[in-house]
Amino acid sequence: MGQWKLRTISSDCFFNIKKLGMKKSDMYHKWIAWSEQDQIYIGKCPDLITGIHGENPVQLYSELCEVVEEVIQHFEKEGRSFPNPRVRPMQDVA
pLDDT score, position 34: 95
Question: 32, 57 in Cβ contact below 8 A?
Answer: yes
Q: What is the pLDDT of residues 26-47, one digit of tens each?
A: 889 999 999 999 999 999 999 9
**Confidence (pTM):** 0.71
Half-sphere exposure of 94 (CA within 13 A, CB side): 5
Q: How far apart are CA 55 and CA 43, in angstroms?
A: 11
Q: How far apart are CA 56 and CA 40, in angstroms?
A: 9
